[in-house]
Amino acid sequence: MSVQVSPIDEVKTTPWSGGRSPFNVEYGKMMMWFFLLSDAFTFSSLLIAYGALRFSSSSWPAPDLVFQSVPGLLDSGAPLVFVGLMTFILILSSVTMVLAVEAGHRMAKKEVLWWMVATIIGGFTFLGCQALEWSHLHHEGFWWGHIPNMEELKHLFKGGNEASYGTYAQQFANLFFTITGFHGFHVFSGVIINIIITINVLLGTYQKRGSYLMIEKVGLYWHFVDLVWVFVFTFFYLV
């Protein structure tokens, strides 16, 4: 069948001339990227609001004084050790997730399954640690709308006007629980999604489909959660 083609049709072979994905990426994966972009805006709005309030304050609870306990082991004297452990766990679970993706490329069902299980365990461990961290701070008197009494607050600040401690401690408490809570909720939903995907791996859904692309999509979400934690960690615990 020979059809007369006009020159304008002949050039239509570039990625942007239609008929195929110019990004060479599957629809769901592209949408995951755009969702994560919008989520990045949400998290940065929260973190920038935190930054603006903190920047305008004359003093702020010092991270190495507020976060110096290892729940179950030490009540004080170990600044940032526990959060270091949490960071390590989350980075590690990100690594097991990439390993699951890598195994998926080789269509190795068993390996995908075990790396996914490892990722879920990492996620639950992180959530457990965060629950301990929250309950420790709650025990000290911090919560949305609640701060410890003045005597205790004096041990959490390094200098500054004592009259303003209450205001800044309250801002710190609200922002800390809101932002780590929002992040923790993301981790929780990530774990749930990972569990659903792992069940599908176990049932052989992706083996039948001939591609483990779904692992890549949930992987993107999981790495994003890790990415946000990197920023939360820096701005709440280090700076």
Distances (CA, A) of 161 to 81, 141, 149, 151, 167: 29, 21, 16, 14, 11
Stretch that binds other proteins, among 5-13, 56-64, 131-139, 200-208 (CB under 8 A): 56-64
Site for other proteins in 26-45 (CB under 8 A): 26-27, 30, 33-34, 36-37, 40-41, 44-45
DSSP three-state, residue 56: coil
Contact yes or no for 203/116 (Cβ under 8 A): no
| Residues 168, 146: Cα–Cα separation, whole Å | 12
| Residues 188, 52: Cα–Cα separation, whole Å | 28
Of the candidate residues 31, 49, 131, 203, the single one contacting other proteins (CB under 8 A) = 49
Residues 6+ apart with CB under 8 A from 77: 68
Residue 87 touching other proteins (CB under 8 A): yes
Name the minimum Å distance from CB 121 to other proteins: 17
Residue with token string 């290892």 = 70
Site for other proteins in 88-107 (CB under 8 A): 88, 91-92, 94-95, 97-99, 101-102, 105
Of the candidate residues 70, 80, 108, 121, the single one contacting other proteins (CB under 8 A) = 80
Contact yes or no for 62/172 (Cβ under 8 A): no
Name the minimum Å distance from CB 32 to other proteins: 10
Of the candidate residues 117, 132, 195, 220, the single one contacting other proteins (CB under 8 A) = 220
Nearer to other proteins, 109 or 143 (CB): 109
Site for other proteins in 142-161 (CB under 8 A): none
Residues 6+ apart with CB under 8 A from 142: 148, 169, 172, 173, 176, 177
Give the pair of three-digit tokens for residue 88.
Answer: 């390590």
| Residues 22, 195: Cα–Cα separation, whole Å | 32
Residue 146 backbone phi and psi in degrees, to 5:
-130, 140
Of the candidate residues 9, 12, 17, 22, the single one contacting other proteins (CB under 8 A) = 22
Interacting residue ranges for other proteins, rule: CB under 8 A:
15, 20-27, 30, 33-34, 36-37, 40-41, 44-45, 48-49, 51-53, 55-56, 58, 64, 79-80, 84, 87-88, 91-92, 94-95, 97-99, 101-102, 105, 210-211, 213, 216, 219-220, 223-224, 226-227, 230-231, 234, 237-239
